[in-house]
Amino acid sequence: MVEESVMVKIGVVLLSGGLDSTTTAAYAKSLGYEVYALTVHYGQRLSKEVECARRVAEKLGITHKVVDFSQFSEVAWYSALTTPDLFALPEGRSIEEMGGDVPITYVPMRNTFLISLAAAYLESEILYKIEKDEIKPREIEARIFIAANVLDYSGYPDCRPEFYEKINELMRVASKVGTKYNVEMRIETPLLYKGKKEIVELGTELNAPLEWTWSCYKGGEVPCGKCDSCLLRAKGFEEAGIGDPLIRRLRQEGKM
C-alpha cells in the first residue's frame, strides 16, 4: 500500500496591520497554512500600522517578523505616503474620483519590492525544510498572500491581475526552489475582486481581529475619517451592516 504524501503548506503574508491584510492573514490561516507574517517599514508616513500588525499577529497566533527598510522611501519618494512634506493626502474624494487615475498615494514599485522580500523569506523557509528537515520538494506547497485589490484602487498598476501573473513566473525562474527543486512559489490574492463590503464580511466570518486594524493614512489616536482609506473602510462596514469594531474599541477606551 502506497502512503499518501502529506502536504506541508507554507504561507508568507504581507501584513500591514490594515483591514485587508488582516483579513488575508486570517484567510491563509483558515486554509491550514503554516503562516509567517511579514511587516515592512519602508519609510511610510505611518509607523502606527506596524504596531497594529504586531497586535494582529499576536491575536491570530502566527509567526511575525518586522523588518526595517525605511531608506526605501528615499528612492520611492514620489508619494504622499513616503514624502508627506511635499505631497498632500487627498481627502473627501468620491469613490469614482479614487479610481479615476493613479493617486499620489501610490508608492513607486512598492508591491514589487515587498513581494521580493516576501519571496526571499518564503524561499528560505522552503530551503530549510528541504535541505535540513529533509522534506520532499513535492510535498511542499508554498504561497505568498497579499491583500491586493483592483476594485477600490483601480488606478494602482501593481494591484492588477496581470502584474501578479508576470511576477509568479519571475519567482520561478529567479529562485533555487523553482529551478532546482521545482517548488512553485505563487502569489495568492484572495481579495483581488472583492469590494470593501465583501472584505468586511469575510474578515468578520473568519473572526479576524478587526478591532486592532488601522486603515487611516494619518497618525493620531483616532482615524481622520476623511482620507481615501478611511472613507473606503467606513463605506465597507456601512454596506455590510456591521459596526466597525475599531471604532467600538476606541470608544470603550474613551478615545472617541
- Give residue-wise pLDDT tens across range 228-253: 889 999 999 999 999 999 999 999 99
Q: Could you tell me the three cell numbers for 173? A: 525562474
Cβ-based neighbours of 147, under 8 Å, separated by 6 or more: 14, 16, 18, 20, 21, 23, 24, 189, 191
Q: What is the CATH number assigned to the segment(s) 8-252?
A: 3.40.50.620
- What is the rounded distance in angstroms from the CA atom of residue 241 to the CA atom of residue 244? 9
- What is the rounded distance in angstroms from the CA atom of residue 206 to the CA atom of residue 201? 9
pLDDT, tens digit (0-9, with 9 covering 90-100), for 102-139:
888 899 999 999 999 999 999 999 999 999 999 999 99
- Residue ranges of domains in the chain: 8-252
In 3D, which of 9, 81, 20, 11 has the Cα closest to residue 56? 20
DSSP element (H, E) containing 193: none
- What is the rounded distance in angstroms from the CA atom of residue 163 to the CA atom of residue 175? 18
pTM of the model: 0.93
